[in-house]
Structure 1
Amino acid sequence: MLYDCNNPVIGGTEAVVYLFNRADIVAYVRDVTNPQIITDITLAASAKGFRYEGYNTSVKPKTTFIKKDYSARYDHMVDFVVFAKGSDVKAEIEKLGTNRVVAVIENIHKSGDSAFEIFGTDLGLELTTLKSDPNDANSEGAYEVNLTSPGNFKEPHMPATYYKTDYTTTKAALLAMITV
């Protein structure tokens, strides 16, 4: 793996996270040559994902390698901030506490197949913490949401890559699965 000075990696993510109820995902279609790449996501009939739009660095995905006695695992984490405060938003956030979700994030670096990553592909992510402090000058009362791999179980792989033929096609396919 060589460093490409003509196309350097740029860190960071776009300030948006796409969430899908894990139970609504019927199947992933994986690339035959590289199973790390997911080329399609099949959702249950009439199921849709949700888009949470943030600001600046309000979406913070992370992956941590976990060495086990008999295996190697990965802890997937997606932290994000919800700026809306209405009752419909509160009801939606409460549902995160009782369901596992799969998160798709968009990297700022979009070269090749690097734009979209899927967190929680196998086990899903659970709401670990939720915080809102209306008097906190930094968060301005927004909801700080932390989603992680289940406590006793971790993902068998790093976050998968979501990629169709190019960035534009992949983004269009992702948006087609999202509730407006």
Structure 2
Amino acid sequence: MSIYNKINAGFSLGADAPITSGIEDVVYIFNENDITLTYNPTNPLLVTGLTAVSAAKVYKFEGTNNSFNAISKLSKTQVGPRYTEEIDFNIAGLSTDVKAQLMAMGYGRVRAVVINNYKTGDSAIELFGAVNGLILTEAERNAADEGIEGGYKLKLTNPDKLKEPYPPRAVSIAPESGTATYASTLAALEDLVV
């Protein structure tokens, strides 16, 4: 059964697991070609494995006070639906190391993983930029901005004319023996962090 052009299930929201907005104040970012993605063979919306190429790493950016946000927007095109994916976050730092990372995210393509505040279901952890990657499209610094102490406001999004063919992919990774859980997925991600 194809998921491309037929609905195959319904859903309802209940009191047992009410939807919760926002993402945690952490984003995991890695270079597009540094981590190989493994997909569920029957569901392309589900990433079941992240494997480092050579000694590649995942980089963890942490924030506070709901300073991170993730957005996915549907666009109808002549060839079907496409999705624009965006991740907004702040960096409180001005070092040359920070600036070098900003430049790398602007020229190279990265992928990013976020953790939703809504933990029910297999989409508690999501991957952005799975097909076309993300680039840094905004890096704004206002030295007088007391909200982020003069740091950078950043936006990662798809490169021009390269929207994603799917919404953000769910990441659900099983341990060596057993079924995938939120904890096992987070542990697999943390194992790749520098």
Which range, TM-score by smaller chain? over 0.9
The equivalent of 2:32 in structure 1 is: 22
Structure showing greater Rg? 2
Q: Structure 1 residue 44 and structure 2 residue 53: aligned? A: yes
- Structure 1 stretches (4+) deviating beyond 4 angstroms? none
Count of aligned pairs between the two proteins: 178
Q: Distance in 2 between matches of 1:112 and 1:62?
A: 19
**One-letter code aligned to 1:111:** T
The equivalent of 1:101 in structure 2 is: 110
Q: Distance in 2 between matches of 1:80 and 1:122?
A: 21
* RMSD of Structure 2 on Structure 1 (CA): 1.2
Q: 1:151 aligns with which of 157, 160, 163?
A: 160
Q: Distance in 1 between matches of 2:162 and 2:97?
A: 31
Unaligned runs of 5+ in 2: 1-10, 174-179
1:122-137 superposed matches below 5 A:
122-137=131-146
Give per-residue Cα distances to partners, 1:91-132, cap 9 Å, x unaligned: 222211111100000011112313100000000001111011
Q: Is the 8 A contact 2:46 2:170 kept in 1?
A: yes
Q: CA deviation at 1:35?
A: 2.3
Q: CA deviation at 1:65?
A: 0.4
Identity %: 36
**TM-score, with structure 2 as normaliser:** 0.87
The equivalent of 1:169 in structure 2 is: 184
Q: Distance in 2 between matches of 1:28 and 1:114?
A: 16
Q: CA deviation at 1:4?
A: 2.0
Q: 1:35 aligns with which of 37, 44, 48?
A: 44
Q: Structure 1 residue 6 and structure 2 residue 16: aligned? A: yes
**TM-score, with structure 1 as normaliser:** 0.94
Unaligned runs of 5+ in 1: none
Q: Distance in 1 between matches of 2:90 and 2:140?
A: 10
